[in-house]
Amino acid sequence: MNAFSIPQLRNEWLGNIRADILAGLVVALALIPEAIAFSIIAGVDPKVGLYASFSIAVIVAITGGRPGMISAATAATAVLMVTLVKEHGLEYLLAATVVAGLIQIVAGLLRLGYVMRFVSRSVMTGFVNALAILIFIAQLPELIHVPYLTYVMLIAGLGIIYLFPYITRAIPSPLVCILVLTSISIYLHLDLRTVGDMGELPSTLPIFLLPDIPLTLETLWIILPYSAAVAAVGLLESLMTAAIVDELTDTSSDKNRECIGQGIANTATGFIGGMAGCAMIGQSMINVKSGGRGRLSTLCAGMFLLLMIVFLGDWVKQIPMAALVAIMIMVSIGTFSWSSIKNLKDHPRSSSIVMIATVAAVLATHNLAIGVMVGVLFSAIFFAWKIAQIFRITSVLSEDGKARTYVVEGQLFFASVDDFRASFDFKEALEKVTIDVSHAHIWDISSVAAIDLVVVKFRREGAEVEIIGLNEASETIVDQLAIHDKPGALERLLGH
């Protein structure tokens, strides 16, 4: 069905108006502390993250491929830009955001959304856990070498967040946490770090501006590595979040449209002074939990966020950092997949290693994209290793002891050729050797070369070599003959 047909659009926008607006409000309230906290992670003024969250949410609501998913400034992209901001300043960050958006648009046009199929469940779990740990680590500066009063506030904040829902679920408990802690700190004149100390808050609506950077190739080389990493992480987290929302709501989404939508949002956000962002796992879950399903919920989240910030800026300044840290710890705990720790025992060791490798790589590099690449690499290696075990060579000696028939079955490819070679006994003096490969899959050139080598070696020892079924077997070199495109290909592949 056409994604832009009128009934479809009406359904995605207006199918769920009341619940979408309410959920949008809840999400906006939860977005404020996060947007501020992520700006602080990246080392920029809170307004950069707040403008970004507004603009990304509103644009993705229109352009994205997954209705009901929340996108804004995120921790995953913020941690990538720390060094860029430190060394080159805010203007380079904005330019990097624009370039990252353009890369994402290209990725969407090239339909790279489908590459997600190579990201296994274990890698996703590793990604989520690493993200949760990154969010937690980012809170540490606020927790070390601070007056002990901060800890009291923090514990009070966490208490409110987790216990308030037992009293009522009608208002967001993180909001209650902010309100209570802020009032206490103002009333008692507590000397705590507040949001106002962290930098400038927005006082106006965002305006269009070009990043103030020299438009040279040199600039591009500075920002490109950051842009590429941001684009990759942004797409990964967005597509994963889309998969999670798909799962929760039992509906489907357009992954390539999501890539393009994220790209458009980031490109535009760079021009209004916002930092790059992507979909947010925690916020999207809050949205679904609060009843948000349609595009309207994402749009409302962005709109409410901006209105609240612009009109309540003076109050937002007074929020103690401890309240934000409490909320971020809640997000971190909620994002982490605790069941994955329990599952370490029961799951196959290879998937546990993939998960842990993903987390370790992220913690070492602070780059989620590298973590995912490591995870995918490990999954591929483990997969190849497992498949290579589906391989067997049996042999029968003829009655007169002069001829032997080897029967090769299973998967023959680079990872199994060593086993293949080792299975032949070249020391045996034979007149005739028959190798039956008609029940083997020959996947690549390595295996063809290995067969050739075996034949040559037997000939050197004076045996006459016959290979049975080579033609059928080599038809299974899928790439070469591209038979996977032909009708009945699967039957032929399975038939060997």
Partner 1 sequence: MINLLALIDGSGYSKSVCDHAAWFANRLGGGVEIVHVLDRQELSSHPEDFSGNIGIGARTALLEELAELDAQKARLSQKRGRAILDDARDSVVASGVVNVTTKLRLGEIVETVQDLEAETDMIVIGKRGGGADFNQLHLGSNLERVVRSSHKPVLLASRAFKPVRRFLVAYDGGRSVIKAIDEIARNKVFADLDCELLCVGTETAEAVAQMEASASQLRAAGYRVKTKFMPGRPETVIAREVESDAYDLMVMGAFGHSVIRNLIIGSTTTEMIRSCKIPLLLFR
Residue 247 as a binder of partner 1 (CB under 8 A): the answer is yes
Pick the closer one to partner 1 by CB: 229 or 286: 286
Residue 334 as a binder of partner 1 (CB under 8 A): the answer is yes
Residue from 13, 162, 383, 414 binding partner 1 (CB under 8 A):
162
Looking only at residues 265 through 304 of this chain, which bind partner 1 when binding is defined by CB under 8 A? 281-282, 285-286, 288-291, 293
Residue 351 as a binder of partner 1 (CB under 8 A): the answer is no
Pick the closer one to partner 1 by CB: 336 or 424: 336
Residue 249 as a binder of partner 1 (CB under 8 A): the answer is yes
Sign (positive or negative) of CA dihedral 35, 39, 40, 46: negative
Residue 353 as a binder of partner 1 (CB under 8 A): the answer is no
Within a 10 A sphere around the Cβ of 193, how many other Cβ atoms?
Answer: 16
CA pair distance 61, 13, nearest whole angstrom = 9
Instruction: Please give the single-letter amino acid code of residue 313.
Output: G
- How large is the angle between the packed helices 368-388 and 121-139, nearest 10 degrees? 150
Residue 89 as a binder of partner 1 (CB under 8 A): the answer is no
CA distances from 232 to 73, 115, 279 (A): 15, 12, 12
Residue 335 as a binder of partner 1 (CB under 8 A): the answer is yes
Residue 333 as a binder of partner 1 (CB under 8 A): the answer is yes
Burial status of residue 440 (CB atoms within 10 A of its CB: 0-12, 13-18, 19 or more): buried
Q: Which of 496, 452, 454 is nearest to 477 (CA)?
A: 496
CA pair distance 292, 271, nearest whole angstrom = 29
Residue 175 as a binder of partner 1 (CB under 8 A): the answer is yes
Looking at 165-173, 193-201, 215-223, 351-359, which segment touches partner 1 (CB under 8 A)? 165-173
Place of tokens 């592949």: 493
Number of residues binding to partner 1, judged by CB under 8 A? 46
Residue from 83, 183, 203, 251 binding partner 1 (CB under 8 A):
251
CA pair distance 361, 356, nearest whole angstrom = 8
CA pair distance 332, 158, nearest whole angstrom = 12
Pick the closer one to partner 1 by CB: 162 or 414: 162
Residue 245 as a binder of partner 1 (CB under 8 A): the answer is no
Contact of 178 with 33, CB cutoff 8 Å: yes
Residue 69 as a binder of partner 1 (CB under 8 A): the answer is no
CB of 123 to partner 1, least distance (A): 16
CA pair distance 164, 326, nearest whole angstrom = 14
CA pair distance 68, 61, nearest whole angstrom = 8
Pick the closer one to partner 1 by CB: 25 or 415: 25
Instruction: Please give the single-letter amino acid code of residue 16.
Output: N
Task: Write each residue from 12 to 41 as x if it is in contact with partner 1 (CB under 8 A), else as -, in one continuous string.
Answer: ---x---x--xx--xx-xx-----------
Binding site for partner 1 (CB under 8 A): 1, 6-7, 11, 15, 19, 22-23, 26-27, 29-30, 161-162, 164-165, 169-175, 244, 247-251, 281-282, 285-286, 288-291, 293, 330-331, 333-335, 337-339
